[in-house]
Amino acid sequence: MTGSPRASSIVAVANRLPVQRTPDGWQLAPGGLVTALKPVMEARDGTWVGWDGGNRGAPGHLPSMRIGLRPIRLRPGAVEGFYHGFSNRTLWPLLHNAVERPVFDRGWWTQYQEVNGRFADAAVDALAHVDRPVLWVQDYHLMLVPELVRAVRPDERIGFFLHVPWPAPDIYARLPWRAEIVRGLLGADVVSFHTERYRKNFVRSCGRVLGAEVTARGGDLHLADGRVVRTTSAPISIDAAAIRSAVTSPSAGAELAELRDQFAGRTVLLGVDRLDYTKGIVERLLAFEALLERRKDLRGRVVLVQIAVPSRDDVQEYRDLRDTVERLIGRINGRFTPTGGDVPVHYLYRGLPPEQLYGYYALADALLVTPLIDGMNLVAKEFVVAQAATGGDGVLVLSEFTGAAEELREAVQCNPFDVDGLAGRIETALEVAAPSRRRALRTMARRIHRHDVHAWLDEQISAIEGPTTAAS
């Protein structure tokens, strides 16, 4: 649909701009969503509204990119309340089934409202400068923006996509500002989630907190003022073709050869995550320890490589998690490193450049994706595509509490809350015969290639444009 005559302009609003400051100046930030959006935004006179992340001098555009940028500057107090506070310590844990206790702080809420107002003002301004625009708002940081924009531009087409789960109504209802948040979202024409479960949770939460203000009919929510809001489930995906070509490139091949050398003769289990308490890293380590305890024959023959990208380390819960993870790894390595031998847990506390990360994906005999809850989990999809592209036979062990589990049904599913059971699932995974592993990988990879991030994006934009735009 890119460049079609009926194409409308896109104004995207996200917490962060799609650019980052590097020693060589401002550059496009890495990441599947940004890469996928770039050509579509360029073809449609796109504008991106986002926080500059505290880096002064964010440009209005990049020479390498025909997308307008509208940087939002925030004072330190606003960053504290809106971002570290309400977004990361209230909404993030709440929307992740309260696996950590959400903190409710009225001051943070005030900052969240103010900053959402700033984003909405910038969006309204951007909308006024383009033809036939659609507004596409991303994620939990900006849930009030749809309603705020609707109040000023009632006829605009507005979509919202939530990248994280929506919890059961009983959990959502704990939020003191629960009605304000859902009213904010209902300013959109379309509100989308990764899975049917999250979508239904949202619809039920609206009923629970708004009562007679909304009526659910099918996937639609009918509001008292006559507006109809569509809800959809639209699982996000990855740029599968790009990963396939990167993982089969000579530099990734060289990386893989080196890793094979390093881990020769050992079965490699892999974990790749942001260091976040939702990702089940502690449970994974405990399960690995339990496995080494009960299977003496595996000691010295199996290794866990845990790659963890630092995340939100200005938040206490994240610093505590890092301490726990590092203490546990120390304990496991202390207990099970053979005299004169290599450690059973390799721990890399950093982000890796793509070719290195893909080398690990291609190397691993099993990827352990064990979140306690996760909106989708793109790492699982990246692994499947990388393995299939390199003719691997790695097994995906996948938590049933990830959005990805609904699509990747051929994975070895697990319940990470059951640590002994998880150890058993890892054991099972290692025993699956090679032909079945290959079959499972191929089936899952085909599904991901068919529904890649470009397909997802097309669906999202068409849904926001709605039937009226299509007819014009």
Q: Which residues bind ligand ADQ (CB under 6 A)?
A: 32, 163-164, 236, 272-274, 307, 309, 351-352, 357, 374-379, 382
CB of 406 to ligand ADQ, least distance (A): 12
CB of 337 to ligand ADQ, least distance (A): 23
Which one-letter amino acid corresponds to residue 100?
E
Active-site residue (options: 61, 105, 121, 163): 163
Q: How far is the CB of 378 from ligand ADQ (least distance, A)?
A: 3
* Residue with Cβ nearer ligand ADQ (68 or 359): 359
Query: Is the CB of residue 67 less than 8 Å from the CB of residue 61?
Result: yes
Task: Name the minimum Å distance from CB 190 to ligand ADQ.
Answer: 16
163 is catalytic: yes
Q: Closer CB to ligand ADQ, residue 172 or residue 361?
A: 361
Is 365 designated active site?
no
Q: Which is nearer to ligand ADQ, 214 or 282 (CB)?
A: 282
The smaller minimum CB distance to ligand ADQ, of residues 45 and 273, is found at 273
Nearest CA to 116 out of 150, 149, 153, 89 is that of 149
Q: In the chain, what is the straight-line distance between the N-terminal and C-terminal CA atoms, in Å?
A: 15
Q: Which of 189, 276, 365, 374 is catalytic?
A: 374
Strands 228-233 and 9-16, how do they pair? unpaired
Closer of 207 and 351 to ligand ADQ (Cβ):
351
Name the nearest CA neighbour of 235 among 163, 186, 168, 167. Answer: 163
Cβ proximity to ligand ADQ, 172 vs 336, nearer residue: 172
Q: How far is the CB of 347 from ligand ADQ (least distance, A)?
A: 11
- Encode the chain in three state secondary structure: CCCCCCCCEEEEEEEECCEEEECCEEEECCCHHHHHHHHHHHHCCCEEEEECCCCCCCCCCECCECCEEEEECCCHHHHHHHHHHHHHHHHHHHHCCCCCCCCCCHHHHHHHHHHHHHHHHHHHHHHHCCCCEEEEEECHHHCCHHHHHHHHCCCCEEEEECCCCCCCHHHHCCCCCHHHHHHHHCCCCEEEECCHHHHHHHHHHHHHHHHHHEEEECCEEEECCCCEEEEEECCCCCCHHHHHHHHCCHHHHHHHHHHHHHCCCCEEEEEEEECCHHHCHHHHHHHHHHHHHHCHHHCCCEEEEEEEECCCCCCHHHHHHHHHHHHHHHHHHHHHCCCCCCCCEEEECCCCCHHHHHHHHHHCCEEEECCCCECCCHHHHHHHHHHHHCCCCCEEEEECCECHHHHCCCCEEECCCCHHHHHHHHHHHHHCCHHHHHHHHHHHHHHHHHCCHHHHHHHHHHHHHHHHHHHC
User: Which of 391, 472, 471, 469 has the alpha carbon at shortest distance from 134?
Assistant: 469
Catalogue the active-site residues.
Answer: 163, 374
